[in-house]
Each structure stands twice: as structure tokens, then as C-alpha cells.
Amino acid sequence: MTDLDFDKHHLWHPYTSMQNPLPVQAVSHAEGVRLFLEDGTALIDGMASWWSAIHGYGHPILDAAAKAQIDKVSHVMFGGLTHEPAVELGKLLVHLTPRGLEQVFFSDSGSVSIEVAIKLALQYWISLGRSQKSKLLTLRKGYHGDTFAAMSVCDPVTGMHHLFKEVLTKQIFVSEPQTPFGQPLPAQELDELRATLAAHHSSIAAVILEPVVQGAGRMYFYSADYLCGVRALCDEFGVLLIADEIATGFGRSGKLFACEHAGITPDILCLGKALTGGYLTLAATLCTPRISSVISQDGGVFMHGPTFMANPLACAVAVASIKLLLQSPWQQRITGIEAQLQRELEPCRHLASVRDVRVLGAIGVVEMREAVDMATAQRFFIERGVWLRPFGRLVYLMPPYLIEPADLQHLTQAIHQFAQSVR
């Protein structure tokens, strides 16, 4: 039995069936923006490994950080112990994130950082003697992860977790924003949110949303004015605001954090994906002193503690990744990627198979009129030397920031060819 045969029969890949699995490709190594398959095929990666490998693969600075740390200590429990990489990473995050976020809780993955955020919000109100504030209000078409609390705030109808809707905690949903990014928000677009908060704020612990960019549920970029309005309404009705920046953090939207487009500070902020430049799994949940002081009053403790939280190896690479980003011309790179995506994806808009084309920062989206057959699409793209993984009707790009224009053009041309091929 070959390795691929074993993989097919025994390894369960994400979002796939064991009886009729999607085809998988065996990667032998990766370098820069390219994945090299065992058969010698080279693929330009347009996904940055689910949006995390912002510096590409095999970056010497990140490699060196991992090697240096593994010679010291690769892991140690964070209960009762600390270490330099965690402290240095915490300092960076407090300094760089929106002002007022001063406490950092490390965890294993983006979904877990959402679980932590939700528990923080719930425990905050419990500590204030207001345990009836136990619901979350969120936007339709959102996506926040695959664990149980995270699934409960994903769209229960159009999201990928609708199979579980009968067993998930019932949350409160309002319509997703409709005004595109860069356009002024009509006042009435906040009417539903205002009415819902007015009616239910006594039972709502927090509003949770993806700022400016609704990611895996919709790949839509909405007006920053909407985010400003949400912050104001949360303050008016005494509800916390959780910002899920797992996908948008560290420059992807054109700002270091998407909340900066609106100039707001959430009460709780979730980070992941690009935190370590795609090297190791690590996430962080930040909150304001108001939340931590309430939870900690009278000797209270926050009841969460992942085994691998603040893993020294991951923290060391995260520090190196953030410093590498800040020392690079990342804003210039993102601006260049955005302009090229706008220029080269726009012709797709005129194809009969295409419903819309959207670009923001280093994110390019071609929305098809019909759902894409994943297996067919993957074969099509691999034959053209690119790695893209569409979902639903969405064919999209989130490349590493250091991608060269010629490689990005190869990706955009492949998407245009694919859209042309769909009848």
C-alpha cells in the first residue's frame, strides 16, 4: 500500500468524506510561495495555507527562530511557569493591537481563541451577578470556527455547521451587512441590530463579529461605518464586543488589524492563523482590564487552561514573524497585491458564470453563480501549476505577502481561465 493509498483509507481530511474523499496531493517540500509535490510538480500557493503563511515557506528568519528555541525548551506548562518568548510576544501584542487591550490569554488555535472569548464574556457577567446575560448576538453569514461555542455563532442555515443546529446553543442572529467596504453606511442598515439589542440586551453577553471582512462564511467586505455603529450600540446597551480577527490580523486587509479601518477597540479580540507566520499552531485572546478585573475580583480565576498554551516554540516563532512583518514593507506589498488583484480579476466580472468580483488588501474573490465542484476545480488548478481551494461558489486568493507580480498573475490567470471554463 502506497502512502497515498494509506492516506485515502485511513486519514480523515477536513471537510471531506471517508467513503468518497476529495483527491489529496502529497507535498515533499515547500519554499517561498511554492509547494512541491512528490511527483515533482510545483504549485504556486494562492492560499497561504489557509491564510497563515504570510511570509511564504522556509523563511530563514523563522527557521532560525524555531531552531534556536528548540535548543532551549520546546514546551513547558504555562501553569505557574513563564518564559521569555511568551513575555516578548505578549508585549508585542499589547503594543500593536487597538489601544486598551492589555491582557493576553494564549491558546492552541483560532477556534479555541473564540471559545476563550465567549467564556470571558460569560464569566464577566456571571462575576457581576448578571448570569442572565448568557446569549451571543452575531451576524448571519459569519464563520468563527469548528468547536461547539464557535459553531453556535456561525450561520445556522447557510454555514457549514447546519447539521448541528439542534444541539448547539441557540444564539441571536441579525442580517449581515450589505454596504460594501469604502462606502458610507445608510443609517437604516443598523436598525435591525438596534432593535434586537433594545429588545434583548438584558440577556445578551456580547456581540461577536468578523470586523470588515466576513471570511469563510461569505468572503464579503463591508463598510467600516457598520463596525463603528456596532461599537456605539454595544456601549449604549451595555453589551461587550468581541472582534474575531483570526483571518484578518497581521495585515491581510491592508491594516495591521481590521478594527483599525473603523478606529475602534473591541472589548475582546481573537487572533490566530498568521500569528506564527503559518509555522506552528498558536492563538491569542486579548481583553481590556475592565473584563479581567471583574473576573478576578475577590480571588476569582478564569476557568480555562490549554495544555499547550503559550508553547515556547510557537511563541518564539510568532515573535520572529511579527518582527519580520513590521520590518518589511508590508503595507507597500499589500497595496501592490490589491491593485494587481483588482486589475487582473476584474475581467472575470464580465463572464456569464460570475456573479461578483471583490478585492480588499491581499484578498481577491470571484463569486460564481453556481457552486464549484471541488474535485474538478482542484484538478483544473493543479494542471495549471497553482494551488487554490474554492468553497461553495467562491474562488478566492489569499497569497503570501512576498509573492512576486509574475506569480500572482499566474494565479489570477488560472482563476479567469477557470471561470471561462464553467458553463
* CA distances from residue 12 to 38, 99, 111 in whole angstroms, order as listed: 20, 42, 19
Closest by CA to 120, choosing from 372, 279, 304, 319, is: 304
Question: Among residues 133, 141, 255, 273, which one is catalytic?
Answer: 273
Q: DSSP state, 261?
A: G
Q: Report CA-CA distances (Å) from 254 to 85, 231, 298, 332, 365.
A: 27, 21, 42, 9, 15
Is 143 considered catalytic here?
yes
Active site annotation includes 244: yes
Euclidean distance between CA atoms 353 and 351, whole angstroms: 5
Distances in Å between the Cα of 190 and the Cα atoms of 136, 179, 195, 236, 278 are: 17, 11, 9, 13, 36
Q: What does the block give as the cell for 349? A: 466580472
Which region, left, alpha or beta, applies to residue 404 given φ > 0 means left and ψ of -120 to 50 means alpha?
beta
Question: DSSP assignment of 344-370, as one string?
Answer: HHGGGGGSTTEEEEEEETTEEEEEESS
Residue from 3, 15, 67, 72 carrying the catalytic annotation: 15
Q: Which of 57, 124, 143, 279 is catalytic?
A: 143
* Residues whose CB falls within 8 Å of the CB of residue 368, separated by 6 or more in sequence, listed in order: 353, 354, 355, 393, 394, 395, 419, 422
| CA atoms of 128 and 300, how far apart (whole Å) | 11
Which residue matches cell numbers 487591550?
101
d(CA 21, CA 66): 34
Between the alpha carbon of residue 232 and those of residues 236, 240, 334, the distances in Å are 6, 11, 30
| Strand partners for 57 | 32
**Bridging pattern class, strands 240-244 and 268-271:** parallel
- Marked catalytic residue, from 244, 279, 396, 401: 244
- The bridge status of strand 283-287 relative to strand 268-271 is antiparallel
User: What residues are annotated to the active site?
Assistant: 15, 143, 244, 273
